[in-house]
Every structure is written in C-alpha cells, then in structure tokens.
C-alpha cells in the first residue's frame, strides 16, 4: 500500500456527490475535507498525484500569492488594506522562494500563513483547471511546469505568485 502521509487510522476516500477526495478515520467515523492534524503534506501530494484521476486537458496546481497596492483587489483575508509596493511584494516572495528551495518549508505549508489568496486554507491548492480558466500569465507558467516543480516569480493582475504544479 502506498503511504499517503496521513496519521494512523486515516484514509483518503472519494466523494461521489462532490467529485472530490476527503479524509476518513474508520475508528472514530470522523470525515473531513481538510487533511487531519499530523499529515505529511508532501507525501499526501505525491499520493494524490499518483492516485487521483486527472480531468482530461487539466492540471492541478497550488500557489502562494503576495498582493501589492497595484493588485486589482489590494486586500485579503490577511490584510484589509494592502499598501506594499510591487517591488516589496517581489522581495517578500523571493524570501519565500528561498525557504522553499532550501527545503526549509513546503510551498503548501508556507501558503497557509503567508498567501494573500483564500486558497491558503487549502495549502494554496487551486484544484484542477484547464487552459483559459486562469489569468494568462499564471496559466502559461503553470502548464510549463513539471509535476512537483515550483516556478519563479510570476506577475499577474492579482499580484505576484509562486506556483507549484
């Protein structure tokens, strides 16, 4: 059996009604959409990539977004009024990129606390998407990445991103 990175007693199941994976603990009968406490997120991502059917022509990606005052909506769940400059946002993102590339932390773990996107609560996971569904600059980079690869800084109308496929 492939290690999904879940704590003992937990397993990944699939919701037919929502067509999404969820997490189930057979002993406690608890089910939840978010991974349980103690999950190894990197192992879970690898497991999901190997065991989830990918919709035809679509990819799955996660991202970490840092907004700036020039973003199309310069506010987020983290900060009501974002006043940092684009250059400051890029420097923040480069710091995050350095921590990720050193292996200090995963993009998903860092996105939970540092991303200005509401996807932060899902480790930055945007789910599956096809061409024409995301901003052009974001989409071009995401589709060029290999699974597991993290992009450099990507600039869109939303802000600056790191993308992981």
**Is-catalytic flag, 14?**
no
Catalytic residue among 71, 151, 158, 164: 158
Residue 116's nearest CA partner among 96, 133, 134 is: 96
Catalytic residue among 68, 76, 117, 151: 117
**Is-catalytic flag, 117?**
yes
**Is-catalytic flag, 158?**
yes
**Is-catalytic flag, 63?**
yes
The 8-class DSSP code of residue 150 comes to B
**Is-catalytic flag, 161?**
yes
Residue 153's nearest CA partner among 108, 109, 76, 88 is: 88
Which residues are identified as catalytic? 63, 117, 135, 158, 161
């Amino acid at each position: 059996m492939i290690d999904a990175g879940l704590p003992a007693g937990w397993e990944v199941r699939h919701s037919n009604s929502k067509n999404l994976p969820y997490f189930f603990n057979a002993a406690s009968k608890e089910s939840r959409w978010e991974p349980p406490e103690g999950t190894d997120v990197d192992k879970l991502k690898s497991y999901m990539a190997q065991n989830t059917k990918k919709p035809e022509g679509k990819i799955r990606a996660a991202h970490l977004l840092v907004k700036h005052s020039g973003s199309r909506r310069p506010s987020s769940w983290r900060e009501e009024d974002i006043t940092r400059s684009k250059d400051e946002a890029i420097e923040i993102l480069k710091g995050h990129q350095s921590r990720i590339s050193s292996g200090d932390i995963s993009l998903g773990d860092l996105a939970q606390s540092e991303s200005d996107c509401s996807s932060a609560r899902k480790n930055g996971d945007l789910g599956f998407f096809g061409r024409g569904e995301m901003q052009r600059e974001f989409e071009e980079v995401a589709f060029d990445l290999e699974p597991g690869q993290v992009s450099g800084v990507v600039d869109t109308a939303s802000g600056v991103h790191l993308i992981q496929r």
